[in-house]
Structure 1
Amino acid sequence: MSTWTIAGTLNVESAAQRADLLAEPVAKALAALPDAESVGVAAIDPELADTAEFCAAYSSPLTASANCVVVAGKRAGEVRYAAAMVLATTRADVNNVIKRRLDVRKASFAPMAEAVELTDMEYGGITPVGLPEGWPILVDKAVAEAPELIIGSGIRGSKLLVTGAQLAALPGAEIIEDLAKPVG
């Protein structure tokens, strides 16, 4: 297990050894990854799962947090889903980049209840590890290039510590330049 410079005050353990800190689809998908032993997990207070509160409480840099957003769009009556991984300091470009990638007229964030039901993960903890088969995972180039990241674990009570390269190597992952725009 590597030493995570972004961990702040977190107690990081091997995610492969702590399935109890992961949503079921995340634990299953993680077990199938070739470098699962190098993925870290840390238990957190579920009330502090939202990015800004988490970073403040655990002394973890906001610049090392990446968020997973579920996006939906319709084409010919068919709903198309994707997950977008963007740095917490940015916002996914849903109306241009993601809309074009999904080949839909209009794309928007999937409703919370729908995202939770389809992913079998908790809102505020949705992660690209263990998403439904066939969903594209759109990874902003800045995320793919990050040496260390903190992301959701499928539940609000923990966080995963991964590298951008690990996210870029997930089944269905596509690296997209300018997937995200700076906040502000």
Structure 2
Amino acid sequence: MVGSLDWTAAGGAGDLLAPPVAAAVGAVADARAAEIDPGLADTAAFCEHYGVPMEASANCVVVAAKRGGETTYAACMVLATDRADVNGVVRKHLGARKVSFAPMDDATSRTGMEYGGITPVGLPAGWPILVDEAVAAAPEVVIGSGLRRSKLLVPGKALAALPGAQVIALAQR
């Protein structure tokens, strides 16, 4: 297992998952969940405290893409060691004029998840999920659970198999 956490099958850990995540996690092969200190939910503090290598952790960022007066939302998954190329790759891939990180209030209200715990599992139907190829290739990665007080551990290929997922070269390294 990854880090010093007590991982358990995510399907039986509904109390550790935000409602939309609990409803969707059954479709994610080999997903496991673990409780954490919510004060340590941010990636760097989490990885240091629980002994999880940064390259075994992936971040989910919600972006707002604008074109012709319309705003659409998407999620981007990159390893914690990388940054999503939002203004280049993401903007072009989504066919947007402008892409920015979604404001916290928008991201949390639209996903039903807590800021700092947003995950691609259980996102609204129709949202593109852009998964960096390094995340998709990872044997397993730690991601958010929808709540700040827990994390999920999933195979990278399970993220690539989510509805709406597209594997692309997304990261700036």
Matched residue, 1:23: 18
Give CA deviations for 1:44-99 in whole Å, capped at 9, x if unaligned: 00000000000111111111000000011211111011100000000000001110
d(CA) in 1 for partners of 2:35, 2:108: 20
Shift of 1:15: 0.5
1:147 aligns with 2:139: yes
100 and 156 in structure 1: CA distance in 2 versus 1, 3 angstrom threshold: same
1:85-96 equivalent positions in 2, closer than 5 A:
85-96=77-88
RMSD (CA atoms): 0.8
% identical equivalent positions:
62
Equivalent pairs counted in the alignment come to 173
Task: Tell me what 1:64 maps to.
Answer: 56
Q: What is the aligned partner in structure 2 of residue 51 from structure 1?
A: 43
Q: Which runs of 5+ in 2 are unaligned?
A: none
Q: Distance in 1 between matches of 2:161 and 2:39?
A: 31
Q: Which runs of 5 or more structure 1 residues have no equivalent in the other structure?
A: none
Q: Which residue of 2 aligns with 1:9?
A: 4
Are 1:80 and 1:102, in contact at CA under 8 Å, matched by a contact in 2?
no
Deviation digits for residues 108-153 of structure 1 (CA, Å, limit 9, x no counterpart)? 1000111000000000000000001000000000000000100000
Structure 1 residues 130-141: aligned runs within 5 Å = 130-141=122-133
In the superposition, the TM-score normalised over structure 1's length comes to: 0.92
